[in-house]
Amino acid sequence: GAVVSQHPSWVICKSGTSVKIECRSLDFQATTMFWYRQFPKQSLMLMATSNEGSKATYEQGVEKDKFLINHASLTLSTLTVTSAHPEDSSFYICSANPTGKATGELFFGEGSRLTVL
């Protein structure tokens, strides 16, 4: 149990286009999901907290208009990188906390590697 699925795993796009990454909890409901960005051989940087039915909470320095987050249901959050540029190329990872499991660990997706040409 506690599987988080991300799609796509890999995406290559042209500069100026927008890319949507999906994060789904397959066997549990998640009121809260998190989006991280990871540079090569570095730690995870929390970008935002995705809240079902309400606006996402962004960490300081993260452009909310650049990284659009929508948490439309208890099992799906999406991250849209708008007008992508080469500096947005990165590994994006989502995680989810099962609703009601207050002490539990977060479950992570497999990550999505974005390359902007």
Partner 1 sequence: AQSVAQPEDQVNVAEGNPLTVKCTYSVSGNPYLFWYVQYPNRGLQFLLKYITGDNLVKGSYGFEAEFNKSQTSFHLKKPSALVSDSALYFCAVRDPSLGDYKLSFGAGTTVTVRA
Q: Which residues bind partner 1 (CB under 8 A)?
A: 4, 6, 32, 34, 41-44, 46, 49, 91, 93, 95, 97, 102-103, 105-111, 113
Residue 38 token pair: 């990871």
For partner 1, the closer of residues 82 and 113 by Cβ is 113
For partner 1, the closer of residues 19 and 34 by Cβ is 34
For partner 1, the closer of residues 14 and 43 by Cβ is 43
Shortest Å distance, C-beta 42 to partner 1: 7
Shortest Å distance, C-beta 102 to partner 1: 8
DSSP 32-58: EEEEEEE-TTS-EEEEEEEETTS--EE
Shortest Å distance, C-beta 16 to partner 1: 26
For partner 1, the closer of residues 69 and 93 by Cβ is 93
Cα–Cα distance measured from residue 79 to residue 19, given in angstroms and rounded to the nearest whole number: 8
Cβ-in-10-Å burial (0-12, 13-18, 19+) of 37 comes to buried
Q: Could you tell me if residue 72 is left (phi over 0), alpha (psi between -120 and 50 degrees) or otherwise beta?
A: alpha
